[in-house]
Structure 1
Amino acid sequence: MFDFSGVGLMDLLPFIAIGFAAQMVDGALGMAFGVISTTLLISLGVPPATASAGVHTVETFTTGVSGVSHVLHKNVDWKLFARIVIPGVIGGIIGAYALTQISAETARPFVLVYLAGMGVYLLWRGATHRHTEREPKIVEPLGLIGGFLDAAGGGGWGPVVTSNLLVQGASPRRVIGTVNTAEFFLTVTISATFLFALGWEAFTIATVGLLIGGVIAAPIGALMAKRVAPDLLLTIVGVVLSLTSLYGLYRALT
């Protein structure tokens, strides 16, 4: 387990900043905590495996705080929540098991191309004010696929579930709040599986910094999701999803 003795505030500050920035985006847009924080941690010299394990551990706490904040701001559609949380947890369990048996990297470029296309489409709809709210029909399969990809591929719950629900016409604020709240239960399931395998080695100085920054930012992100206009929210989601997916595709192919 990580030895906290001798660690000062200056050692933690870069990781606190990363956690804060990543959670601000995730809390307000319903995606990208894992992508942003993992990418920045690796750029600071943290080994990829350590970064991935640490981010999943931190998300257990940040999604809990974010979920409570979204509930308090009335951003959660409880009917939609009930439809995605159980399939999501099941998908997460299957994905965590699959990760120990096979590699999910083969399918990753195809998923990223699909998500980049979804991002461009959402950007167009938000920028041209073509978003008409209606009840989403395809929900449970999204939860199952999103949970599986999140566990097996190191991310995917927010991009897959949030983007597809928005394409179907669901309310941006309600989708973001509901997906964030359901993610807590998914992350607890996945993290428990990995914690059993890895032990407490996932807790490093980077993990602690991410945790502090993420928990501070979670309530602010939920408030932003409530206050920002739907079209603008949809446009920003499209931009973030497109950029992160294209960057992920570049890394997967190089």
Structure 2
Amino acid sequence: MFLNKDGHIFYWMLLTGFLAEIVAGSMGMGYGVICTTILLLLNVPPPVVSASIHSAESFTTAAGSFSHYKLGNVNKKLVWVLFPLAIAGSVIGALTLSHYGEYYAHIVKPIIACYTLYLGLNILRNAFKEKTKDRIKTKKKNQP
């Protein structure tokens, strides 16, 4: 296993997650892209990258989802439509990556690198985009 090769990889992963969360906290996006890029550069296998990022994101996503639910920002009908599809997609993705990820890492890594480059460019474009003053008006909960 890759952890036996380098006993310090955990600390690099911890630092990567911390720095990525600082960026994501300030911009509201980018945690997965930053972590994926850095962990692949550290030669961490794709299944381990995916598992570590998604396990960390589970807690922040759950907290954000609960907050949105309590504030009434959730379309419950849409959630129930997307829920089974999200479960199926996550299970298929996890099984595929865990079964083929290390064997086909030489193919998977360049694809992930291109995809994260695309996402990173979009994040940078959004970060430096000129802010507009026109905001979409939302319907408040207590209005008639």
Fold shared per TM-score above 0.5: yes
After superposition, the CA RMSD in angstroms is 2.9
Query: Partner of 1:238 in structure 2?
Result: 113
Deviation (angstroms), 1:193: 4.2
CA contact (8 A) 1:172 1:230 kept: yes
Instruction: Tell me which residue corresponds to 2:140.
Output: none
Matches within 5 A, 1:1-254: 136=9, 137-196=11-70, 199-226=71-98, 227-228=100-101, 229-252=104-127, 253=129
Change (3 A) 1:146 1:218: same
Contiguous gaps of at least 5 residues in structure 2: 131-144
Q: 2: distance between equivalents of 1:249 and 1:206?
A: 30
1:206/1:150 CA distance change after superposition, 3 Å: farther
TM-score (norm 1): 0.41
Higher relative contact order (CA 8 A, sep 6+): 1
Contact 2:20 2:34 in 1 (8 A): yes
SS, match of residue 12 in structure 2: coil
Task: Tell me if structure 2 keeps the 8 A contact 1:147–1:186.
Answer: no
Q: Residue 165 of structure 1 contacts residue 175 of structure 1 at CA under 8 Å; is this kept in 2?
A: yes
Any gaps of 5 or more consecutive residues in structure 1? 1-76, 80-132
Q: Which amino acid aligns with 1:214?
A: A
Q: Number of residues paired by the alignment?
A: 122
> CA offsets per residue over residues 65-100 of structure 1, 9 Å max, x none?
xxxxxxxxxxxx9x8xxxxxxxxxxxxxxxxxxxxx
- Max Rg structure: 2
What is the rounded CA distance, in whole Å, between the counterparts of 2:82 and 2:22 in structure 1?
24
Q: Per-residue deviation at 1:234?
A: 0.9
TM-score normalized by structure 2? 0.66
